[in-house]
Structure 1
Amino acid sequence: MRMGKYEMGRTLGEGHFGKVKLARDADTGRTFAIKILDRQRILAMKINEQIKREIATLKLLKHPNVVRLYEVSASKTKIYMVLEYVNGGELFDKIALKGKLTEKEARKLFQQLIDAVAYCHEKGVYHRDLKPENVLVDAKGNIKVSDFGLSALPQNQLKDGLLHTTCGSPNYIAPEVLLNKGYDGSMSDIWSCGVILYVMLTGNLPFDDQNVVVLYQKILKGNAHIPKWLSQGAQHILRKILDPNPIMRIDVDGIKAHEWFKKGYAPAVPFNDDEEDISMDVDSLNMTECFLKHNGIQDKIAINQMNAFQLIGMSSCLDLSGFFEKELKVIQDCKGLANSRGQESLLISAEVFEINESLYVVELKKSSGDCSLYRKLCETLSEDLGTCKSQQFLKQDSIRQEIGRYNSSF
């Protein structure tokens, strides 16, 4: 199989929106990774802006510790992103294999991570989803930051100069992001880097809990246990980074000046910004209403599976500062949803977390049954929650009633 000058090889990975294939330039023999995205799925999931943001962001970044985007093209059904091939796997796998890394090895990778993040910030790019799964390692043991789908650019900031979208991965998210009062993208990225450093050094997460609400409570308090068996320098820099107060948290310059960080530090040199730009077929990437009509695709969400974290991110009105005001109450409910023949085909669990008197967080999980029914339920619930956004809270009884209504309708 060929795509232009590229000979397509084995599949490296698959996701909700497409797959990544190994490819070789037939002219030069150079190896690349080509991300092949399904446009219909992208439009159905309404993540076209996310994809365009990732492409626009990667187009800006030319650094040895950031995955490079070399070319973008598209057909009526697919988008092709020609990316740098990183053959060492994820940092997550490297840590999982060893249990934890030595301080020397962790410091080297952390130095490269900070170099990459500092460069991104200089370009006005805030990653917002830094975690070991989004940090790749090449054959020489050097890191490459990847997956900029949740990144933000200066134009995403509001008039107050802050970002306001709640996003990221629960264990790595900064406390100020959870508070929904606006946050500095650079400082929230630094927090995530600190969590990654902690994981590399100890093999464990500094903040963890199966209950997502309790997890957020721990993050907001910021009382991470720093093992005494780490060197004094490692302990100190971790405490300075994992400070829940972003104003007091150490910044990039402070990290680079830290004695622990400076050992054996060799700053990375960014690539020349004047080098030839990537090839991009801009017109073919334009996901307009005309394209929707041409392909007969309805502009609606086909699958919208939500967990409590995604629910929190839906609305800026959801303020988690109520964690400290009173104890959390957890209500659990399970319902078996029946199909038209009366046979049970879907079992879900719904957890309602009472944050305060007027605010509830709802988490749905499919225990067993028909995936299509679960998707339909999530889609319908998502639409209902869209209406609830303007009401600023979710009532426990209304959620139970909704589940009862789905039970009868299915």
Structure 2
Amino acid sequence: MEGSIIGEKYKLGKTIGTGAFGKVRIATNIQTTCEVAVKILVRETMKKKKMEERVDREIKILKLLSHPHIITLYEVIEAPKEIYLVMEYAKNGDLLKYISEMGKLQEEEARKIFQQIISGVEYCHEKYVVHRDLKPDNLLLDSERNVKITDFGLSNIMTDGQGFNTSCGSPKYAAPEDGISTFPRHLSPTARDLISKMLTVNPMERIEIPMILKHQWFQAHLP
């Protein structure tokens, strides 16, 4: 309920998103007046969908990660009926909404966003975390339009020498093993080259992050 206080610290505001287990709402820290996002997980819904383990894993992974381009989990507040994840608030919403509003992004802006995504993903992999559901909906933009990777609900932790065989994520954004790619004319030759290498059907020939980092298109205007 809007105006409710959680943890004697945060005043809940309007709903800004709805997920499988509950809602995401803006809240204000009563002491600092800073805005945060609160992911409200309903215990009964989690139990019905047998997703307690998945939620526990998401919390564990978020606590493990600390990076400028990954959403920050500030604290977890537990109540009898809900679990509240108090997180960094990304004021400009998700990348899908932003692209829809803009029509298309200029290549320079797209490059900056891509550089930040790769930075965050590389950090995750260094921590043996795989996101498994990267898509524009799960990439938030803060007040300065910097990327914040979010929604680690399908993520997991890798072990050396072991892989995953679970099919998960969103089909439209799955790996390109069945893919045929076409490119819009406005893309520069170097952008086309990088994208084509990332969408190579044979995963053994597909470009990986170390080579993406060295690619000519990625290196341009690198902060």
Verify same fold: TM over 0.5.
Answer: yes
- By how many angstroms is 1:60 displaced? 0.8
CA distance in 2, matches of 1:153, 1:142: 25
Superposed counterparts of 1:4-403, under 5 Å: 4-155=8-159, 161-175=162-176, 219-220=177-178, 222-266=179-223
For 2:153 and 2:24, locate their aligned partners in 1 and report how far apart those are by CA, in whole Å. Answer: 15
Shift of 1:226: 2.2
Aligned mates of 2:184, 2:21 — CA distance in 1:
41
> Which AA in structure 1 matches 2:60?
A
Q: Distance in 2 between matches of 1:16 and 1:253?
A: 35
Q: Report the alpha carbon displacement of residue 169 of structure 1 after superposing the two structures with TM.
A: 0.4
Q: Which amino acid is the alignment partner of residue 32 of structure 1?
A: V
Per the alignment, in what secondary structure is the counterpart of residue 79 of structure 1?
A: strand
Q: Which residue of 2 aligns with 1:312?
A: none
CA distance in structure 1 between the aligned counterparts of 2:210 and 2:189, rounded to whole angstroms: 20
- Cα deviation for residue 228 of structure 1 reads 3.9
CA distance in 2, matches of 1:135, 1:16: 18
Instruction: Give the secondary-structure state (helix, strand or coil) at the position aligned to 2:12.
Output: strand
Q: CA deviation at 1:16?
A: 3.4
Once residues 31 and 128 of structure 2 are traced to their aligned partners in structure 1, the CA distance between those partners, rounded to angstroms, is 35
Q: Please state how far the C-alpha of 1:47 moved relative to its aligned partner.
A: 1.0
1:2 match: 5
Shift of 1:134: 0.5
| Rounded Cα–Cα distance in structure 2 between residues aligned with 1:8 and 1:226 | 44
Structure 1: runs of 5+ lacking an equivalent: 176-218, 267-410
CA contact 1:227–1:235 (8 Å) conserved in 2: no
TM-score if structure 1 supplies the norm length?
Answer: 0.52
Counterpart-to-counterpart distance in 1, 2:149 and 2:211: 21
Structure 1 runs of 4+ aligned residues shifted over 4 Å read: none
The structure that has the greater radius of gyration is 1
| 1:340-398 CA distance string (max 9 Å, x none) | xxxxxxxxxxxxxxxxxxxxxxxxxxxxxxxxxxxxxxxxxxxxxxxxxxxxxxxxxxx
Partner residue, 1:376? none
**Secondary structure of the residue that 2:63 maps to in structure 1?**
helix
| Secondary structure of 1:65 counterpart | coil
**Alignment partners' CA distance in 1, 2:15 and 2:191:** 39
After superposition, the CA RMSD in angstroms is: 1.3
User: How many Å separate the matches in 2 of 1:226 and 1:13?
Assistant: 32
Q: Deviations over 1:220-273 (max 9, x none)?
A: 1x320123431110010011100111111111110110011111111xxxxxxx
From the two aligned structures, give the one with the greater helix fraction.
1
Q: Aligned residue pairs: how many? A: 219
> Match of 1:143, as an amino acid?
V
| Residue identity matched to 1:8 | L
Normalising by structure 2, we get a TM-score of 0.94
The 2-side partners of 1:82 and 1:112 are apart by 23
In the aligned structure 1, how far is the partner of 2:64 from the partner of 2:153? Answer: 14
What is the CA–CA distance in structure 2 between the aligned matches of 1:5 and 1:93, rounded to whole Å?
Answer: 31
- Post-superposition Cα deviations, 1:80-119, rounded to whole Å, max 9, x if no partner, equal 1000011101100111112211110100000000001000
- State the identity as a percent: 45
Task: Give, as a single letter, the amino acid of the residue that structure 1 aligns with 2:189.
Answer: Q
Q: Which runs of 5+ in 2 are unaligned?
A: none
Q: Secondary structure at the match of 2:156?
A: coil
What one-letter code is carried by the residue in structure 2 that aligns with 1:123? K
